[in-house]
Structure 1
Amino acid sequence: MASAPAAAPGVVVVFDFDRTIIEWDSDNWVITKLGAADAFRRLRPTMRWNPLMDRMMAELHARGKTAEDIRDCLRSAPLDAHIISAIKTAAALGCDLKVVSDANTFFIETIMAHHGVLGCFSEISTNPAHVDADGRLRISPFHDSAAEPHGCSLCPENMCKGKIIEKIQAMAGTNNHHFIYIGDGMGDYCPSLKLSEGDYVMPKENYPLWKLICSNKQLLKAEVHPWNSGEELEKTLLMLVNKMITPPAQVSSFDCSKCEMSKPASTEVGHHQALPVPH
């Protein structure tokens, strides 16, 4: 099995997933396309999002939908060619690419493997998911519900992205490492506040993260660069990467087919280090 691309010193790019790498929401895509929107509307007022998604997978299973049906549904969704290009080019420039998302491992791995970019990422931090002995997809919270609460008032109880960023920063070290964080939602605000001078945050324009940043830009130390399309994301990301690499980088001979062959590490619930993602 090929390893993930080696990272150049200093540049860590962290992507959100839903409405960032993909333009749509993976949970909504599956629920709508597989015909369970009625159950979702009935249950939504009574449940928090993470346990609701696990319950929705049970609903799909009860309706005869298999894990492979869910995979096929995810594979049918588009991914902007500019996003694919941005990911592969950043990997070729030697950036260390990571995903921090409130989706789940099953959805993210399926979509990114289908589009040939899964192995461009060294780590995926998201809610764990697995297919149980009955063939039902199970989705668990990132932060173990039996453990002590994460204590962040800005984030949902199943995941504090700010704490994940702090762990990534600690692993990277403080010297010669700078971050680019790309996201759109309310959950991306907490990690944006953890960034330092010399870092960059790329909020999707007119989405919740952008609006929160605009409400008080003085709270952020990182420089803000908004985007509103895949083309703008690619252009802005690669501009910032070249700005952070001195002298300006050239795309290396890194074979982007490695992105298709290698697997990132996955941060699972209850674990304090990245573990290999199973096939």
Structure 2
Amino acid sequence: MRNSMLTCCFVPPPPSGDEERGPPNMEAPLKKHLFFFDFDETIVNENSDDSVVRAAPGQTLPAWLRDTRREGHYTEYMGRVLTYMGEQGVREEGFRAVIEKIPASPGIMGLFQFLKANQDLFEMVLISDANSYVIETWLCATGLRPLFRCILTNPASFNSRGYLSLQPCHSHSCPRCPANMCKRKLLGEYLAQRVEERGGRPFDRLFYAGDGANDFCPSVLLGPADTAFPRHDYPMHRLVRETQQSSPATYRANVVPWHSGDDILHYLKKLLGR
């Protein structure tokens, strides 16, 4: 099992175009804001594990396999699903065909156009309980991959038999989160590492956009200057509301629920005066 945040972190190659290089012998200016994005039902409008199953024969799984799913151990279950699909002859081209068709969430592409135009302000990280193959494939197909400095997720790759193999991201002791991933631990480790790499200089603001119950846990780390973007009436939003009502002092972040990426975009434009 993976124990270091770095083992599930994938960094894109540096830009190669002269127009994206800074002046010689000068460090690039530090970005002001750190933005974390979930993937399933946040960037994309589906659960990508469900999408991947469409590559299976008949686009479904046998009941005996579905019955092996256990609460809190979903990644183990998906490992069995991927092994089964490999045994049924599903190979990379089959997975890629369905992954590239996963729809983006409403308004998300417009939000990323804004973030791309303001890359000088934002360092962006994707933190997801999906897997590296699905995420990398979708981001590359949509042209969004270069926007993310890092992807924190469960590693997945094709083995010698041509099967897509899935591994857990890390171990942790959080009782709230599934056995393979605590996003709060990942966010905390990443933030501490980056502040150290920045010579102790913190980010001005943190932003977190998500939808699921496992997105609530990391959002608790946000402070009064930071903003959580829970998808409206999804599990993260419901947990935020419950916490604000029962223990308001324990949840310090600003909260901006979203139906569409346009809601996040409008908030950022107003906040930044853009």
TM-score (norm 1): 0.78
Q: How does 1:29-40 map to 2 (within 5 A)?
A: 29-34=51-56, 35-39=59-63, 40=65
Decide whether the 8 Å contact of 2:224 with 2:253 is kept in 1: yes
Decide whether the 8 Å contact of 1:36 with 1:59 is kept in 2: no
- For residues 8 and 47 of structure 1, the distance between their equivalents in structure 2, rounded to whole angstroms, comes to 38
- For residues 161 and 55 of structure 2, the distance between their equivalents in structure 1, rounded to whole angstroms, comes to 22
Query: Paired residue for 1:64?
Result: 89
Decide whether the 8 Å contact of 1:202 with 1:227 is kept in 2: yes
Matching of residue 3 in structure 1 with residue 15 in structure 2: yes
Matching of residue 216 in structure 1 with residue 243 in structure 2: yes
Query: Paired residue for 2:7?
Result: none
- For residues 29 and 267 of structure 2, the distance between their equivalents in structure 1, rounded to whole angstroms, comes to 18
Superposition RMSD on alpha carbons, in Å? 2.2
Decide whether the 8 Å contact of 1:128 with 1:141 is kept in 2: yes
- For residues 7 and 69 of structure 1, the distance between their equivalents in structure 2, rounded to whole angstroms, comes to 42
Query: Paired residue for 1:197?
Result: 224
- For residues 33 and 133 of structure 1, the distance between their equivalents in structure 2, rounded to whole angstroms, comes to 20
Q: How does 1:55-134 map to 2 (within 5 A)?
A: 55-80=80-105, 82-94=107-119, 95-134=122-161
Unaligned runs of 5+ in 1: 144-148, 250-279
- Percent identical: 29
Amino acid at match of 2:264: T
Matching of residue 164 in structure 1 with residue 195 in structure 2: no
**In 2 relative to 1, CA 185–81 (structure 1 residues): closer, same or farther, beyond 3 Å?**
closer
TM-score (norm 2): 0.80
Amino acid at match of 2:164: L
Query: Paired residue for 1:227?
Result: 258
Number of residue equivalences: 238
Q: Which has the higher contact order (CA 8 A, sep 6+)?
A: 1
Q: Structure 1 runs of 4+ off > 6 angstroms?
A: 4-7
3-state SS of paired residue (1:78):
coil
Query: Paired residue for 1:185?
Result: 212
**In 2 relative to 1, CA 31–7 (structure 1 residues): closer, same or farther, beyond 3 Å?**
farther
